[in-house]
Structure 1
Amino acid sequence: MPASCKICGSTNLDLKHNRIRDGAKEVDCNVWRCIDCEIVFLDMDIDEHQLLDYYKDGHFRDSYLPDIKDAESKKAEKFYSLKQPLQESRLNSLRDLFKEDMEVLDVGCATAGFLNLLKDLVGRVKGIELYRPHVEYARENLGLDVEMKNINDIAEEKFDVICTFQVMEHVAKPVYFLSQIYKRLKDNGLLIIEVPNIDDPLISLYDVTPYKDFYFMKPHLFYYSETSIASLLKKIGFNSVQFRSFQHYGLMNHLCWSLTGETSTATKVGGGGMSFPSKYSDSPALEAIMPFFEETNKKYKTMLEEQRKTDTLLVIARK
């Protein structure tokens, strides 16, 4: 058991789970929840230099699903096309926050799919990313200003908005990371964070043990709730913190996990819709039934968002 919480220092800890995913295998590792600040974290020692190399060299891809790993490791353009539907949904959820004169930085931008959608809506976009093939793709194929740097490596120029999508859970020192972002925000600037939600319905509502074995993974060092991330941001100095719930995975994904203890092949990458095996794709009966499934799926995701029991947290913090 760790001596104390890695964020607030409290010794008031509760065991959340005892298994994590490391590539294709499951390994023993305690997952602790701080009762005082609600942060959830892996009980493992972290070498920051090794962690940096882990991302620069692309080794973290081994911890994801085989088809996602394959798409990432072969060609950056495959990763880009795979993720664009998600980037479009992300922008639709946040579009109202951007104005045409804004300067925007995306920290951990991958192939810069979000910035490519955003570039014509704002004054300037810039990205930083540690994985070289993604940096090169964004620069050479999209013509975007993307550098292979960490947040503390870039000059302290100021931005109106800084985004970081699915990055915070990988960061070994969240307080330092957020303080570096804070320095690079203009007064009244916005920080937009997207992270996996520890109140994911498969954990908080359905308590699916095989999903927990899958959900907690070696690259994800910290897990956040609305309470824990708001506390962290206010500790840094942000004046206001708001949330927008977003449910990515759909009803079929949840049914598969709840009934079989694993995801279906159809939902591994996309996840959000109602998909069936391709051998049924030309069925007139299925074509007639699909509108019902699609409408049900839409209502299900909306209800989870209304109850704030979603797989994804969108956080908007103002300096």
Structure 2
Amino acid sequence: MKCYLCNSEKKIQREGKVRDNKDIKILECCDCGLVFLDSQDIDDGFYKNNSMLNQDFFKFAKREFKNLKDAIKVFQIDNSLTIKSRLKFCLNSIVGKDILDFGSGHAGFLIQAKPFVRSASGVEIEQQVEEIYKNNNINLYRNLDDVDLKLIGIEGYDVITAFHVVEHLKDPIGILKKLSSKLKDNGKMIVEVPNANDALLTIYKNKAFSEFTYWSPHIFLYSPHTLKKLGEKAGLRVEFVKCVQRYPLSNTLYWLANGLPAGQKHWGNFIDNPILQNAYEQTLASLGATDTLIAQFSKI
């Protein structure tokens, strides 16, 4: 199995397990460092049927609830905080602009962004979300090929976002090329992905985390180097790759002490504060070992 990014056949097996399928191997290219799974069997039906948020997801994610409805409700509350931080990061770039969110899910980001932008559109294949987009007057496309700029009456989008989507794609280079064709000449593409070099994997080498974080829908995992290389392979200018720490120090300490997620809910009230979080994020960023990467691409 050749590396998707550099075609090298040299690879090693990473420590850890894929949480929902122990038979899948986690591989790392010896030449460019791309991390990938040796099985890529997830198809569009998985996403259309919202299988990402089924009972198995919460079981494997170690989220125990009385019923699926309660589990999804808590997940959405947690996700809304993440969306707020994304909006804060993007706000200066999107005010008064035409934006497209690729893999827009339940329109969480677009709903929060809508008051600030000229137009908001999403590309999402999940079947049950149509009502959400109608109720919030947000354009919904089921396929990237359905985005007809002439029909919309714009020359292209000012900003295209993709939050935790690219790691799911079997052909991310091809998709990034398609997305760039929907950008204005001076438009920006903002891509957020998990970091393959998360400190819990590469510095602390936490066994419990290495058997939790890998998931079969995450086909590729990127480091700062490989995310930059991905953008370049798609023919884009890489303006920056920024290391961001989504989860606070309490989460890291809880993993190290108990081997379980969501430490911020148990210890966050007496450990976490903005000064400590900023210092922790800056330290991890200097090592390229935050939990999240955000890249900004543009046309060449």
TM class by shorter-chain length? Answer: 0.7 to 0.9
Contact 1:103 1:161 in 2 (8 A): yes
Is 1:313 the equivalent of 2:293?
yes
Opposite residue 85 of structure 1, the aligned amino acid is: L
Structure 2: which 5+ residue stretches go unaligned? 151-155
Opposite residue 113 of structure 1, the aligned amino acid is: G
Opposite residue 80 of structure 2, the aligned amino acid is: Q
CA change 1:34–1:167 in 2 (3 A) is same
CA change 1:119–1:217 in 2 (3 A) is same
| TM-score, with length taken from structure 1 | 0.81
- Partner of 1:117, secondary structure, is helix
- Tell me by how many angstroms 1:58 deviates: 1.3
Please list, as runs of the form range in 1=range in 2, the aligned pairs for 1:60-99 lying within 5 A after superposition. 60-61=52-53, 62-64=56-58, 65=61, 67=63, 80-99=76-95
Counterpart of 2:280? 300
Instruction: Report the identity percentage.
Output: 27
Counterpart of 1:132? 127
| Equivalent-residue separation in structure 2 for 1:183 and 1:9 (angstroms) | 25
Give me the CA root mean square deviation: 2.7
Once the two structures are overlaid, the 10-residue window that deviates more, 63-72 or 297-306, is 63-72
Counterpart of 2:236? 238
| TM-score, with length taken from structure 2 | 0.86
- Partner of 2:17, secondary structure, is strand
Counterpart of 1:150? 143
| Equivalent-residue separation in structure 1 for 2:183 and 2:74 (angstroms) | 32
Contact 1:21 1:213 in 2 (8 A): yes
Contact 2:248 2:272 in 1 (8 A): no
Opposite residue 53 of structure 1, the aligned amino acid is: G
Structure 1: which 5+ residue stretches go unaligned? 276-289
- Tell me by how many angstroms 1:174 deviates: 1.1
| Equivalent-residue separation in structure 2 for 1:211 and 1:78 (angstroms) | 22
Counterpart of 2:153? none
Counterpart of 1:21? 19
| Equivalent-residue separation in structure 2 for 1:135 and 1:70 (angstroms) | 27
- Partner of 1:139, secondary structure, is helix
Please list, as runs of the form range in 1=range in 2, the aligned pairs for 1:221-236 lying within 5 A after superposition. 221-236=219-234
- Tell me by how many angstroms 1:99 deviates: 3.8
| Equivalent-residue separation in structure 2 for 1:10 and 1:30 (angstroms) | 17
Contact 2:224 2:288 in 1 (8 A): no
| Equivalent-residue separation in structure 2 for 1:35 and 1:112 (angstroms) | 38
| Equivalent-residue separation in structure 2 for 1:43 and 1:249 (angstroms) | 28
CA change 1:45–1:296 in 2 (3 A) is closer
